[in-house]
Amino acid sequence: MITGSSASSHYSQHRQFTGVPTKCWCGRKITTYCSQTDENPFRRFYRCEIAIQVPGNDEHLFKWIDEALLDETRMVDAKLMKLVDEVKVLRNEMLSSFELQKKRVLDMEEEMKEKIKEEMMMANATIEEMGRVMARKSMERAGITLLVVGVVGWVCGKLMS
Ligand SMILES: [Zn+2]
């Protein structure tokens, strides 16, 4: 552990890093140090390697470790809340889709019943029509029979005379 003597609030705050940093924005590695100021005694922080070698260089990453960890916790919390929201949305979507499905099945049932009723009515009409045709046919046949009988009778009558 290297001890830094200059770690305090005077570090540039114009570039903020959220969460636990892995490297400085200059591309260099970061190291953890321990503050020795009266303001923050023994408080640990992340600092760019370059910044420690060149004192007074405020353009490099500085972040308190406890703040970084707090950031991480908040980020995890936010992710969790987002996840909970997403699950709620998903649940609602599933429920409404289920309702829709149920309604669709009922509609289909209703449609099938209608169709069957129509088919039955058509079949009945066809049967009735067939019955009428058959009745007419048999009447025609009866008519022909009468005609034949009449003709035969007339011929017989002629022959007998
Ligand atoms: Zn740097």
Domain ranges of the chain: 2-80
Instruction: Evaluate if residue 5 carries a pLDDT over 50.
Output: no
Dist. CA 26 → ligand 1 center (Å): 4
Dist. CA 72 → ligand 1 center (Å): 21
Dist. CA 52 → ligand 1 center (Å): 9
Dist. CA 19 → ligand 1 center (Å): 17
3-state secondary structure the chain: CEEECCCCCCCCCCCCCCCCCCECCCCCEEEEEEECCCCCCCCEEEEEHHHHHCCCCCCCCEEEHHHHHHHHHHHHHHHHHHHHHHHHHHHHHHHHHHHHHHHHHHHHHHHHHHHHHHHHHHHHHHHHHHHHHHHHHHHHHHHHHHHHHHHHHHHHHHHHC
Q: Which two tokens stand for residue 107?
A: 């509609």
Average of pLDDT values for 19-23?
A: 92
Closest CA to 63 of 110, 5, 106, 24: 24
Q: Which two tokens stand for residue 90?
A: 């998903």
- Residue 81 CA to residue 93 CA, distance in Å, equals 18
Q: How confident is the model at residue 14 (pLDDT cuts 50, 70, 90)?
A: low
Dist. CA 157 → ligand 1 center (Å): 137
The more confident residue out of 141 and 4 is 141
* Ion ligand 1: residues, CB < 5 A: 24, 26, 28, 48, 50, 60
Instruction: Evaluate if residue 21 carries a pLDDT over 70.
Output: yes
- Residue 42 CA to residue 34 CA, distance in Å, equals 5
pLDDT tens, position by position, 94-123: 999 999 999 999 999 999 999 999 999 999
User: What pLDDT is attached to residue 52?
Assistant: 80
Dist. CA 78 → ligand 1 center (Å): 29
pLDDT tens, position by position, 41-95: 999 999 998 888 887 777 899 999 999 999 999 999 999 999 999 999 999 999 9
User: What pLDDT is attached to residue 3?
Assistant: 45
Q: How confident is the model at residue 6 (pLDDT cuts 50, 70, 90)?
A: very low
Q: Which two tokens stand for residue 60?
A: 């490099």
Is the CB of residue 46 less than 8 Å from the CB of residue 72?
Answer: no
The more confident residue out of 157 and 8 is 157
Dist. CA 16 → ligand 1 center (Å): 13
Dist. CA 73 → ligand 1 center (Å): 25
Is the CB of residue 61 less than 8 Å from the CB of residue 30?
Answer: yes
The more confident residue out of 65 and 139 is 65
Dist. CA 37 → ligand 1 center (Å): 22
